[in-house]
């Protein structure tokens, strides 16, 4: 039976905006003022921006001067990767290499590829283990060989597809020990796992708003005071001259509200998500023991795996078929596979973890958020058997016709 309203299980893509965030945004949108102007209205807008910066810094355990406002995760990742590489290129340090994990978001991988193809950068990819973990010894081996010519190490805090949480403190400490700048994309981590930025040796950290109930189109680059990436945009010199452009005061005010709530409620939120996630995974395995769980998983674990992420690989199914069949049944989710130029591709994350291509194509990512409930899980588990059966029959028919 199709639920009365769609069941949304794609919170890793984006999640609903918190009511108090909407209130904060609307309040500021009703006010006039550019935060770079010197008159009264401008100073009022600037005060909102700086108070938001201080609030975010306090919540994340960093200095206000380290909080750089951006348009979101993609821009922050590009600033980190390109900006740091160009800094070394322009200052002639000889550091032309990037060390990145093979399971990064395309917001990191594509800038790396751009630097390789257009500017002659070199790259070393860190291979994860079968659960998606980048082992410290893997990074250590790469740094032993390449530390002297490496501009940046980038390993995401938690994977957006399979939910694996990385040993970031150890990885960042290794980079610091070898004198190499360390960047981490923490877009999926904030609000789900502890994010002790003040205790971790990460030089650059990416965060965005719309994954935690904040506005779309606003995010952060947490940049250590000794970090000087080359700006990708030039103009007014805002944000430590790293990111020119008129500051979006309403979105920044909303982001500060979302960050405060994400940090304050992280532990209780994680417990609720773990309960629902484990129901999804165990329910799917009970339905079909041939289904595989991607990434590390033990019931109750919110340390090695994101609390809100369930990633399944369903044999003899195409993930896209499962997605559309579940959508028709009123359940919205994701395959976790990337679409480039309109052509479905097997997940680069799963391929890097050693999953073969046919199995990687049968992936399903189910991610939870604050609005998720046991009723949502019930609806999914009710719809899943029929979707799997029809997807398998469709694949079988395709094979026969070919």
Per the rule left: phi > 0, alpha: psi between -120 and 50, beta: everything else, 271 is alpha
- What average pLDDT does range 51-74 have in this prediction? 98
Residues 256, 312 within the same domain? no
Per-residue pLDDT, 242 = 97
pLDDT at 50: 98
pLDDT (average), residues 50-64: 98
Please indicate, yes or no, whether residues 249 and 275 belong to a single structural domain of this protein. no
End-to-end CA gap in the chain: 34
Cβ pair 322, 335 in contact under 8 A: yes
- pLDDT, tens digit, for every residue of 307-320? 999 999 999 999 99
The answer on 312 and 172 residing in a single domain is no
pTM of the model: 0.95
Question: Is the backbone of residue 372 left (phi > 0), alpha (psi -120 to 50) or beta?
Answer: beta
Residue 343 has pLDDT above 70, yes or no: no
pLDDT reading at 338 higher than 60: no
Tell me if 37 is assigned to some domain: yes
Confidence of residue 175 (pLDDT cuts 50, 70, 90): very high
Domain membership of residue 329 as a residue range:
7-16+266-401
| 382 falls within a domain | yes
Catalytic residue among 29, 339, 375, 397: 339
Cα(399)–Cα(267) distance, rounded to whole angstroms? 47
Total domain count, the chain:
2
Q: What percent of the chain is modeled with pLDDT above 90? A: 94
Task: In whole angstroms, give the CA distance from residue 271 to residue 299.
Answer: 12
- The count of other CB atoms within 10 Å of the CB of residue 71 is 17
**289 and 247 share one domain:** no
Q: In terms of domains, do 332 and 370 share one?
A: yes
Asked if residue 90 and residue 161 are part of one domain, the reply reads yes
Mean pLDDT of 391-402: 71
Nearest one of 28, 45, 149 to 98, comparing CA atoms:
149
319: in domain? yes
β pairing state of 204-208 and 150-154: unpaired
User: What is the average pLDDT across 119-130?
Assistant: 98
Measured in whole angstroms, the distance separating CA 327 from the mean position of its chain's CA atoms is: 23
Residue 400 has pLDDT above 70, yes or no: no
Confidence tier at 1 by pLDDT (50, 70, 90) = low
Q: Would residue 1 count as lying in a domain?
A: no
256 plus 324 within the same structural domain: no
The two three-digit tokens of residue 338, written as one number: 């990337």
Whether residue 111 is contained in a domain is answered as yes
Q: Work out whether the CA dihedral 197, 200, 204, 206 comes out positive or negative.
A: negative
Do residue 276 and residue 346 come from a single domain?
Answer: yes
How far apart are the C-alpha atoms of 53 and 275, rounded to whole Å? 34
CB 132 within 8 A of CB 103: yes
Total residue count of the chain as it appears in this document: 402
pLDDT tens for each residue of 189-222:
999 999 999 999 999 999 999 999 999 999 999 9
316 and 239 in a common domain:
no
> Is the pLDDT reported for residue 341 higher than 50?
no
Domain boundary among 264, 279, 311: 264
Task: Please report whether residue 2 resides in a domain.
Answer: no
Integer CA distances (angstroms), 188 to 11, 105, 204, 272, in order = 10, 11, 15, 17
Which DSSP string do the residues of 57-90 spell out, in sequence order? HHHHTS-GGGEEEESSHHHHHHHHHHHHHHHHHH
Q: Is 198 inside any structural domain? A: yes
C-alpha 382/C-alpha 168 separation (Å) is 38
Residue that finishes a domain, picked among 264, 283, 306: 264
135 and 273 in a single domain? The answer is no
- Which of 245, 264, 283 is the last residue before a domain boundary? 264
Q: For residue 192, what pLDDT is reported?
A: 98
Residue 295: which CATH number?
3.90.1150.10
Active site residue 339: yes
Same domain, 221 and 336: no
Assess whether 273 and 247 both reside in one domain: no
How much is the pLDDT for 214? Answer: 98
Report the CATH number that the domain containing residue 24 is assigned in CATH: 3.40.640.10
368 domain-assigned: yes
């Amino acid at each position: 039976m199709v639920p009365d309203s769609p069941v949304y299980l794609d919170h890793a893509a984006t999640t609903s905006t918190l009511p108090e965030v909407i209130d904060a945004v609307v309040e500021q949108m009703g006010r006039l003022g550019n935060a770079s102007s010197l008159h009264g209205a401008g100073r009022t807008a600037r005060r909102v921006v700086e108070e938001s910066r201080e609030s975010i810094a306090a919540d994340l355990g960093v200095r206000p001067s380290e909080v750089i406002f951006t348009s979101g995760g993609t821009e922050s990742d590009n600033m980190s990767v390109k900006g740091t590489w160009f800094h070394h290129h322009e200052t002639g340090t000889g550091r032309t290499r990037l060390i990145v994990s093979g399971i990064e978001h395309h917001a990191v991988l594509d800038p790396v590829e751009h630097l390789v193809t257009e500017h002659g950068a070199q790259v070393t990819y860190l291979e994860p283990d079968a659960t998606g973990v980048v082992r410290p010894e893997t990074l250590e081996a790469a740094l032993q060989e390449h530390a002297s010519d490496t501009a940046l190490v980038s390993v995401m805090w938690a994977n957006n597809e399979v939910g694996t949480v990385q040993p970031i403190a150890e990885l960042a400490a290794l980079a610091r020990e070898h004198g190499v700048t360390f960047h981490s994309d923490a877009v999926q981590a904030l609000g789900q796992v502890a994010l002790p930025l003040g205790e971790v040796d990460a030089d650059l950290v990416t965060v965005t708003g719309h994954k935690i109930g904040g506005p779309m189109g606003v995010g952060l680059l947490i940049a250590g005071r000794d970090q000087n990436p080359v700006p990708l945009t030039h103009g007014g010199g805002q944000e430590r001259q790293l990111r020119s452009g008129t500051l979006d005061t309403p979105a920044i005010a909303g982001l500060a509200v979302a960050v405060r709530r994400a940090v304050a409620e992280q532990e209780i939120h994680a417990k609720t998500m773990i309960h629902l996630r484990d129901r999804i995974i165990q329910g799917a395995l009970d339905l079909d023991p041939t289904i595989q769980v991607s990434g590390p998983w033990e019931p109750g674990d919110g340390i090695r795996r994101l609390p809100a992420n369930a990633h399944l690989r369903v044999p003899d199914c195409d993930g896209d078929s499962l997605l559309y069949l579940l959508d028709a049944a009123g359940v919205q989710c994701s395959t976790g596979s990337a679409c480039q130029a309109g052509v479905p591709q097997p997940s680069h994350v799963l391929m890097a973890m050693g999953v073969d291509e046919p199995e990687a194509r049968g992936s399903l990512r189910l991610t939870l958020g604050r609005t998720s409930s046991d009723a949502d899980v019930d609806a999914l588990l009710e719809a899943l058997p029929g979707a799997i059966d029809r997807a398998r029959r469709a694949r079988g028919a395709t094979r026969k016709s070919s």
